[in-house]
Structure 1
Amino acid sequence: MVQWRCSLCFAVVAASVAASLGAIIRKNWQRTTSSSSSTSDPPPEDGIGALWRSCWPGVRPAWLLAFRATAVVALAAVLLWDLRTYDPSIMMYYTEWTLLLEIAYFAVATLCSAHGWLKYYSGSRANQPESNAGLLCRSRADEPDGGAGESAGRLRHFMQIVYQVSAGAVVLTDVVFWGLIVPFMSSAHFSLNAVMGCIHSFNLVFLLIETALNTLAFLWFRIAYFILWTCLYVIAQWIAHACGLIWWPYPFLSPASSWAPLWYFAMALLHFPCYLVYWWIVREKSSCLHKLSDCN
């Protein structure tokens, strides 16, 4: 019976990995085909300036840089607080994996903001002393030349992936935490306290502020990367238990539990509404910006 449940759990994860990889490969092939047959310029939101510009003309690049740097420091401090409160085994939780990913995103975003801020101000002082707020939406930093364009495009692509995976994972983490673990699954390895409350609130608050400020696209097909991220976590848990780990961070991940296949299937399906919620938030922000632009 246990082997049967393990096989079903493995099948759910394997199918998720296969479907996600298939979606990514198909999308990349379509992009390669369309780019080779098109000679038009990429849309503005695909420029390198999207990494450091705000979608709001009144928000200067330096302000976005300051926010991202603050987010790195605050989230890293919460993670350190978490490690001091518990022990390194706390890193076995999906929450901590997601928090590390979010910190990595804000760290890279901070470096991009710093680079773009320097290029923006050096370029505006040297070439456009009469620049105004409109320059915030179109800068020389948006126009990488030579071989730099390809590297910039890869960096933008990487940042968008990490951003969108973080968004979906944060929503999934907080939904499972506040809706399932807190009411029903307290254990010796977990109890609701100040550090847990901060982690499962700061992670979403900082990301929502970032979303309100940035100009990064949020594409639906990148849910595939989000699913792969969770599958990677589950596979890591399996490997850890094969190497001798006794306890499960989340009891429903244990293939030996009676309802394990159903839990795995339910968690796989939960990725879609969690990602959809954040996709809808970004869409509504874009809609609001378009309406304000039309009014002006």
Structure 2
Amino acid sequence: MEGSVGASSNSSLLGLEYWLQWQVLVCALILILPTTMAVIFLLRNRSTNRLKPADLWATCWTSLHPRFLLFYRAFAFAAMAFLLFQTVAAFGFFVFFFYTQWTFALVMVYFALATLVSVWGCRTDSRTQSGETDKFLKKGSEDIMYETTTATENPVGGFTKQEVHHNQVAYQEQQVGSIENIMYIIYQICAGAVMLTDIVFWCLLLPFMTGESFQLTLLIGCMHSVNAVFLLIESALNRMPCPWLGLIYFLLWSCIYVVFQWVLHACCFTWWPYPFLELSTPWAPMWYLGLALAHVPCYGLYVLLVKAKHAALSRMFTRTFVRVSTEKKNS
């Protein structure tokens, strides 16, 4: 999504008169109003996430072991880390001025957290299966005593059958922890960010930027495609839904990037990484408003892809595809 690295635009420092222009104030309102509304909405809807822990590390295919998803997430993280290292080695840390590298690094962080969650999930799954096997063997050796125990008396382990069943249901319905919540939030941000990054680069920037100052290379092409490819494969394997609530996290992520750019320019950094972020033109409010509105179709496209996956595959593969029961509640 970036142009010529190291290029410059304005040679004069951005003084106070630059920030007092009318278009700057309008762009600030375009930035502040949605951010404020998003924060208020999130504060009022804290308990919308009803996912179970298994939804974050299990696959949506009954014949596919969670370890397969674990290996894929680890591979995606390693591949993206390698590409990011190659990019920094080629251009320096200056690349983090661009939204592309922000998004790329965020997707990499997602796969890192997802790998850790998958490790924990696979260990939990193996322990659960081992525990069920032990209970089956124990029941086979003590079936007479177990079957004759009443609902209020159970000498085996000190628990009644009702209590054991209640504990199993409570385990299955436990809520996700902090790391899992962070992972799921990042997943929703990445869903919109990769679409925005790749669509803007391939459809808007590249056709008008290719020239002497910018040449498309294999590394730059990978940076603007691998992120979406890895995330789409991830969505094809996991059970996680993509609710519209994630649009708010996506908007906040982009607002943080814009604020980052404004702070840099307030500190006399005069070069804008993207021409449409320039505030000195009278068309700046239209650009900022257009970019804000573009978040809706970009995130909506990913939501539709995930919904189409659940709707189509659950009908085509009724016995092997697992559809998350909370999908309708979260959407």
Task: Output the TM-score relative to the length of structure 1.
Answer: 0.84
Is the 2:188–2:246 contact (alpha carbons within 8 Å) kept by the matching residues of 1?
yes
Residue 143 (structure 1) aligned with residue 171 (structure 2): yes
Aligned length: 271
Offset of residue 143 of structure 1: 2.5
Moved more, 251-260 or 46-55: 251-260
Letter of the 1:170 partner, please give it: V
| Corresponding residue for residue 289 of structure 1 | 313
Contiguous gaps of at least 5 residues in structure 2: 1-16, 137-167, 321-331
| Corresponding residue for residue 226 of structure 2 | 202
Aligned with 1:128: secondary structure? helix
2:45 to 27, 51, 66: 27
Offset of residue 125 of structure 1: 2.9
2:68 to 49, 63, 68: 63
Cα displacement string for residues 253-274 of structure 1 (whole angstroms, at most 9, x for unaligned residues):
0111331111000000000000
Aligned with 2:281: secondary structure? coil
What is the percentage of aligned positions where both structures have the same residue?
Answer: 37
In 2 relative to 1, CA 142–209 (structure 1 residues): closer, same or farther, beyond 3 Å? farther
Is the 2:106–2:190 contact (alpha carbons within 8 Å) kept by the matching residues of 1?
yes
Larger-Rg structure:
2
Cα displacement string for residues 220-278 of structure 1 (whole angstroms, at most 9, x for unaligned residues):
12201100000000000000111121211101101113311110000000000000000
Is the 2:113–2:179 contact (alpha carbons within 8 Å) kept by the matching residues of 1?
no
| Corresponding residue for residue 282 of structure 2 | 258
The CA distance in 1 between the partners of 2:232 and 2:197, in whole Å, is 15
Offset of residue 130 of structure 1: 11
Offset of residue 204 of structure 1: 0.6
Contiguous gaps of at least 5 residues in structure 1: 36-41, 132-139
In 2 relative to 1, CA 161–188 (structure 1 residues): closer, same or farther, beyond 3 Å? farther
| Corresponding residue for residue 81 of structure 2 | 76
Cα displacement string for residues 63-96 of structure 1 (whole angstroms, at most 9, x for unaligned residues):
1000000000001111111111211111100000
Is the 2:192–2:298 contact (alpha carbons within 8 Å) kept by the matching residues of 1?
yes
Letter of the 1:181 partner, please give it: L
| Corresponding residue for residue 38 of structure 1 | none
The CA distance in 1 between the partners of 2:88 and 2:104, in whole Å, is 12
Letter of the 1:14 partner, please give it: I
Residue 169 (structure 1) aligned with residue 193 (structure 2): yes
| Corresponding residue for residue 113 of structure 2 | 108
The CA distance in 1 between the partners of 2:190 and 2:89, in whole Å, is 24
Letter of the 1:143 partner, please give it: Y
Is the 2:23–2:285 contact (alpha carbons within 8 Å) kept by the matching residues of 1?
yes
Structure 1 vs Structure 2 CA RMSD: 2.6
| Corresponding residue for residue 244 of structure 1 | 268
Task: Output the TM-score relative to the length of structure 2.
Answer: 0.76
